Chains A and B, each alone.
Chain A
């Protein structure tokens, strides 16, 4: 987008913000459409996370104005956050391992919300 106007005081024109909003709506529309068609859940997850990261980047860059801040601020905030989130992913191998080793309930049935009448039986 070449429509942005960079100023010292408060950069970004209203036109630019409306364009960002429209892009956010379009990307959300694509996500909802993916919910309508039936995709494999892994493919779906990958696409959804990818689109959400793009949307988050648009919000942070334009609405939260980070694109117009000094690079030092961006470098202080963003890489640290990305590294910490990536570190959280270390749990996932364990979650797949868990599937075979997990504790099984005696009844092997999940807990069900019971209504009052059923409890009396």
Chain B
């Protein structure tokens, strides 16, 4: 990159006049945005696939009671939303070049993200202990939903698992950013924020579609 003044001239040029930065963002940030768009399509495809299977099944298990399951996953949602707020605070601290504050806020973000993963794994363990598998249902569920599709587990584990993987890689990414923040440009910190907010955004669709549409209203079998 050339000097500030020269780059400012090139920035102001429109894309049709050969502006070097027609979007007024660096190439890394544009790259992250394009990655986010493609990743958003991956998750949309998974959610559409889940909806397809659910719509074409005779019956779909709705196994999550409001308490504890929905309350539990609401707390997970709260963790992710709060981590987004702390991340945005970290990015604005980075704009002020206040590295101590950046580390503090990103550290908090990592804490919330880790809490999310721990809570999620506890939930997974409960479901696996109940007997939920990718292609089969617990016996107790089959009693309650005799026509219930065995693909419940496949869709649940695939979607939440891929999301959890994104949270996990996000934690590593943020830890690296926090460690190297003094050597990094502000825009690079902002890019890590973009990724983290995207992970939060995906959960905003996973939570209602997987959990809130599977709240248990069916009366128990006597």
Contact = CB atoms under 8 A, between A and B. Distances in A.
What band does the interface of chain A fall in when counting residues whose beta carbon is under 8 Å from B? 35 or more
A69 B23 contact: yes
Interface stretch (B49-57, B111-119, B164-172, B176-184): B49-57
A96 B56 contact: yes
Interface in A1-43: 9-10, 12, 14, 17-18, 21, 24-25, 28, 31-32, 34-36, 38, 41
A interface: dominant SS: helix
Interface string A95-119: 1101100100000011111110000
Of listed B56, B89, B190, residue having the most chain A CB within 10 A: B56
A99 B146 contact: no
A88 B45 contact: yes
Given A48-B209, A95-B52, A9 B95 contact: yes
A114 B82 CA distance: 40
Interface residues of B, number: 68
Contacts of A36: 66, 70, 215
Contacts of A94: 52
A28 B44 contact: no
B213 interface: yes
Given A76-B23, A95-B55, A110-B147, 7 more contacts: A35-B211, A36-B66, A44-B213, A45-B213, A109-B142, A111-B150, A112-B142
22 contacts: A17-B89, A24-B84, A28-B207, A31-B212, A35-B212, A36-B66, A36-B215, A45-B213, A60-B201, A62-B88, A64-B201, A70-B23, A73-B23, A73-B25, A92-B55, A96-B55, A99-B55, A99-B57, A110-B146, A110-B150, A112-B138, A113-B131
